[in-house]
Each structure stands twice: as C-alpha cells, then as structure tokens.
Amino acid sequence: MRVPPTGDSPRRSTRSGPSRRTLLAAAAAAAAVPATGLAVSQATAAPPRSADRPLADPDLGPNVIFFDPSTPDIQGRLDQIFRRQESAQFGTGRYALLFKPGTYNGLNAQLGFYTSVLGLGLSPDDTHINGDVTVDAGWFDGNATQNFWRSAENLSLSPVSGTNRFAVSQAAPFRRMHVRGNLNLAPSGYGWASGGYIADSRVDGTVQPYSQQQWYTRDSSIGGWLNAVWNMVFSGVEGAPGQSFPDPPYTTLDTTPISREKPFLYLDGAEYRVFLPALRRNARGTTWGGGPQGESLPLSDFHVVKEGATAASINAALREGKHLLLTPGIYHVDAPIVIDRADTVVLGIGYPTIIPDGGVRAMTVADVDGVRLAGFLLDAGPENSDVLLEVGPEGSSAGHEGNPTTLQDVFIRIGGAGPGKATTCMVINSRHVLVDHTWVWRADHGDGVGWETNRCDYGVVVNGDDVLITGLFVEHFNKYDVRWNGERGRTVFFQNEKAYDAPNQAAIQNGDLRGYAAYKVADDVGEHEGWGMGSYCYYNVDPTIVQEHGFATPTGPGIRFHHIMVVSLGGQGQYAHVVNDHGGPTSGTDTIPAKVVAYP
C-alpha cells in the first residue's frame, strides 16, 4: 500500500553549512501491508562460556569492545560511546561493539557515527537482544539525512515496543539481522531520511519506511512493506511488494543475479574465526535460515591492523600470505596497500579509515580471483590522487566468473573531514567484479568543501566487462558520477545527487550538453542493463542551472533501463530530460520526480 506524502514544504538546516539534501516531508501513516506469516529461524545458539572457563579475547585494539551476557553495565558502556559519537560526523572516533553469543536483556544500543554493532554467532539468532539497536536523529533536529557511517550486523532483536527504529541514510548497512517485530526506517517525528540498505535479513513484521526517499533491500525475508515515496527496490526478497513502478514506485526483481554476502567475524567455541559466505546465483531469501554455506578461516590467518600501522607493515603482512583485519582507527598510508594474491580477504570492523598521503593511491587490487574487500572507508588526502581504489590494473582481461572479486560496504569520501582531492574515486578494470553496497561521496558539507577545494571529476569508472553492482550510491562529482565503459554491466538500484555547488552553467558544460550525466554508459557499449535508478539535483549556488539529463546511454537491443527517474529538489535547478532526450522535464519548484518506466 502506498502512503502519500503530506504537503509539508522542504526546509533547510543551518548546521554544518548547507543541509545534506532537501526531501519530501514525512509520509502519513497508513495500514501496514499484511504479514505473510514467515517462520522464525530456529538456528541453534552457540553454548555460552562457563564462569570457570574464561575466554581470552584477541587484542583488536582499544576501540573494539567485547560483551557477553555477564558483562557488567553494558548499557552504561553503550551510552558512553553513543554520547561521544552521536554528532561526531567528521570526528576521529571509531568503534566496533562485539556481542558474544547468548541472550541480552533490556538493552538499547544507540548507534552514532563510525559505530558498528556486531553479533559473534554463526547465525544472527545465536546472539539475541531483548531490546533495540536504534538510530534516530535527535542530534540533527529530527533530520536523518546525515545519519551516515554506522552499521548493525548479525544480531537478532525483540524490540521493546515491537518496532525497532533504524533511521539512516547512506553508508549504514543493516546486514544479517533478524527483527522479531517491525522495522521503522524513519526518525521519530517522521522527518526526512534519504535512503539505505538491507541485506540477508529477516523482519518478521512490517518494514515501515514512512519518509524514506528510496531504499534497496536484497536477499531477505519480510512480513510486509508499508509504503514508498520515490524509489523502493527489492531483489531476491521474500514478502516484497509486487512490481508496480511508477505508482507506487516499487521495483521488484524475484532474484538477485549474483550475490555473495559480506565476510564476518564469529566465535566458534573458544576460537575466533572469519566466515566467508559462498557465491550464490539467482539468490532469494537469507543465507542463514538452514545454516550458512561457505568456508571459515581462523583468525590466525589474519594480520590484525591497528592504529599506527603503515603501508609498509601492511604490505609486508600481505606478502607473507596474511589476510587483513582492519580494526577501528584512522590509517595514513604513504604508498598503496597492494592486494596481489588471489582470495585475499580485507575485512574492516568499526569503520577503519584509510587516508593516502602525498597523492598516492589508497589501495590497488591485481587481476586475480576472489579478492574480498569489505567494511572500510577510504578518505581522500589533501594532495590529489589520480585514483583512490583500483580493482585490476588497466587492461585487465582475465575471466573471474566462478570466483569474482567482491566489494561490500566499501565507502569513499572526498572532503568533509578536511580538504581532499582525487581525479577518480574507484576504477574497476577487472571482469566479473561484484560490488555490493557502496557510497562514493564528494562532500557537500563539512570542512574542506568547495567546487575546487574538494575537486573530484569522477566517482566510479567501470572499464571491466560483466560487472554487477547491487546498491550503488554515488553523489556530487564535478563531472560524471558514474561512467561505465565495460560490456554487459548491470546495476540494481542507483541513488545519486548532482553536485550542489556548481557555480554556474558554464562550470558543468559538457561540450554541447548542459551538464554531465549522473550515469553515463559509453557510446560504444552494446549491452547494459539497470533497474531502479534515480538522480536528483539541488543547484543551490545557481538555481538557474539546467541539467540535460540524469542518464546518458547508447541505444540498441542490448541496452535496457527499467524504472528510472530524476528529481529537482525544491526547484533548485532543473533536468530537461530523464535519459538522453527522453522523459522529463522536471517541473518548476515542485519536488516531484519525472519518471521513465522503460528505456528504450
């Protein structure tokens, strides 16, 4: 059932410079979609440790905090960290809160910036909280559009009120979670929220987006879905609403073409291990209901990276054949981290942040099978890097269909925490790469922000063939946000905003075209497909700017776009068309999408 938005007008915040985005206001409440009666998973919990057999926790640095059900004053410790992180949007604190298998009563884990809460069971049901994992927006006057960089993973919850609140925007995944109740994605007061991501999760009740602009849910099970505002996308979701774009704007794929869940740390008896979920094709539903499929590595196979580590020490561990566990912290590197061995795992917990110094690249990956990158943030340094993350060197051509490189919850930022520059954030040269949830962001607020101050021309450039991206969030780049040059590329869900701070029409002129498309498929590409894609403009420096289109693509029998749209936020700039010269234009001061159901 669609819940129409109210007629409240957009407003602007005065915090930290211009507001993150202008949104439709809160959606009116309505009856929930009837639940489908999904059964609760009965996975067996790992046995709790006995009091006479203490477990030695590994040293993962001072900001990895372990809890078990006997830990005293868990709530007090959670509250202390939340007070520190609640409004620290560009602060230096990083935290991973690790809950050992067992049952915890009466907790409310409120998540601030750069905070991850993670269960340590093999199944989410191994670690159960009779309570909540909460994200709200009190710190920002009820506006959730800047609730970035936090995560909840591998837990089950019985919310106190029957509904857990997780009001987030970008870079805030909800993975391997079991909510024994409802899940509310809006802040209290139903203020603005600008989209997020769920994967490999079960919600027994109803997911309630309310004022969320857009959302992507993958390979999960839900009891129902309440409403849609602009763009709700589902792939492989049991209980998802039927496809109905444009009204209501649901894009529903029965399965996800290819998926592989994020690696995770877990406790196997007295031993810490990392589980590597198996690759799935045409996936649907969670991986863990009948026991996860994949392989397990001992923590001893990993080099534990803690603050103070250098590029030299990290690369030395990689050359010795170690995987990497990046612990919470900020890491300056004076040379790229080089991943050149097949099947290497780089797993971050608690939003470890890598900053390249002196204009070097942050990380490079060889053209090899099965590399897994997950759970970290790359933050541009003040000297321009040509590329921050390169997956495969230029000219890569080897096939990796049976064991692709995967990127999950890998986020990239240009500016905001201080001046940062790059020419391109992420370049994918290898074939068959799977990117699952990324937010690549040129900052529109914070420190070191300006058209030339945090210059970055391109967000994501895909040169490799047969690349699939599920959950692609890319925003505010000076030229193309996404440029796709490889064949047979596919994107399931795309969320974009054009750069707010373009000074005038001339600054974004692209030859004869007014502006660079948010998503550009190269003119010589013969096969490409996308589902559930949106681009928004808010040219608040010069509201007279006209953007020719959100999407640019060649046409032909191998090119297919499904359910795409453009929006002018509050009439600050306009789109002339949705895709090429088709669809649109956006309309004056109305924040109403121009939509195209299918192209060509």
Q: What is the pLDDT of residues 334-356, one digit of tens each?
A: 999 999 999 999 999 999 999 99
Cα(533)–Cα(472) distance, rounded to whole angstroms?
Answer: 9
Cα(200)–Cα(7) distance, rounded to whole angstroms?
Answer: 35
Handedness of CA 198, 446, 499, 248 (dihedral sign): positive
Mean predicted confidence (pLDDT) in 404-410: 98
pLDDT at 584: 86
Write down the H helix ranges in 56-210: 74-85
pLDDT class of 430 with cuts at 50, 70, 90: very high
pLDDT at 55: 61
Residue 99 bridge partners (DSSP)? 67, 119
Give the model confidence (pLDDT) of 271-310 as tens digits.
Answer: 999 999 999 999 999 999 888 899 999 999 999 999 999 9
pLDDT class of 512 with cuts at 50, 70, 90: very high
DSSP reduced 3-state for 76: helix
Q: How many CA atoms are closer than 13 Å to the CA of 11, on its beta-carbon side? A: 12
- Tell me how crowded residue 319 is: count the other CB atoms within 10 A of its CB: 11
* Surface-to-core class of residue 600, CB atoms within 10 Å of its CB (0-12 exposed, 13-18 middle, 19+ buried): middle
For residue 264, what are its two tokens?
């995770």
Give the model confidence (pLDDT) of 100-122 as tens digits.
Answer: 999 999 999 999 999 999 999 99
**Which residue carries 């929006």 as its tokens?**
567
pLDDT class of 413 with cuts at 50, 70, 90: very high
Q: Is the pLDDT of residue 576 over 60?
A: yes
In the chain, % of residues over pLDDT 70: 91
DSSP reduced 3-state for 511: coil
pTM of whole model > 0.75? yes
Contact 264, 288 (CB under 8 A): no
**Which residue carries 């046409």 as its tokens?**
555
pLDDT at 362: 98
Give the model confidence (pLDDT) of 540-560 as tens digits.
Answer: 999 999 999 999 999 999 999
pLDDT at 38: 26
Task: Name the pairing type of β-strands 513-514 and 509-510.
Answer: antiparallel
Indicate if 548 belongs to the active site: no
pLDDT at 269: 94
Q: Is the pLDDT of residue 167 over 60?
A: yes
Residue 142 to residues 146, 152, 185, 188, 213, Cα–Cα distance (Å): 10, 21, 13, 7, 15
Give the model confidence (pLDDT) of 3-56 as tens digits.
Answer: 223 323 232 232 333 343 333 333 322 222 222 222 222 233 333 433 333 468
Cα(143)–Cα(536) distance, rounded to whole angstroms?
Answer: 18
Mean predicted confidence (pLDDT) in 140-169: 98
Residue 354 to residues 55, 195, 309, 344, Cα–Cα distance (Å): 31, 25, 11, 18
Among candidate residues 390, 475, 497, 548, the one labeled active-site is: 497
pLDDT at 50: 35
Helix (H) or strand (E) holding 494: strand 489-497
pLDDT at 14: 29
Q: How many CA atoms are closer than 13 Å to the CA of 356, on its beta-carbon side? A: 27
Backbone phi and psi for residue 493, each to the nearest 5 degrees, phi listed first = 80, 125
Query: Nearest-CA neighbor of 280 among 256, 303, 259?
Result: 259
In the chain, % of residues over pLDDT 90: 89
For residue 188, what are its two tokens?
């209290």
Cα(532)–Cα(597) distance, rounded to whole angstroms?
Answer: 9
pLDDT at 395: 97
Mean predicted confidence (pLDDT) in 458-465: 98
Cα(460)–Cα(469) distance, rounded to whole angstroms?
Answer: 11
Contact 197, 232 (CB under 8 A): no
Q: Which residues, in sequence order, are CB contacts of 319 under 8 Å at separation 6+?
A: none
Helix (H) or strand (E) holding 338: strand 337-339
Query: Nearest-CA neighbor of 567 among 547, 586, 548?
Result: 586
* Surface-to-core class of residue 108, CB atoms within 10 Å of its CB (0-12 exposed, 13-18 middle, 19+ buried): middle
Residue 333 bridge partners (DSSP)? 356
Cα(538)–Cα(516) distance, rounded to whole angstroms?
Answer: 14
**Chain mean pLDDT for the chain:** 91
Mean predicted confidence (pLDDT) in 183-187: 98
* Surface-to-core class of residue 14, CB atoms within 10 Å of its CB (0-12 exposed, 13-18 middle, 19+ buried): exposed
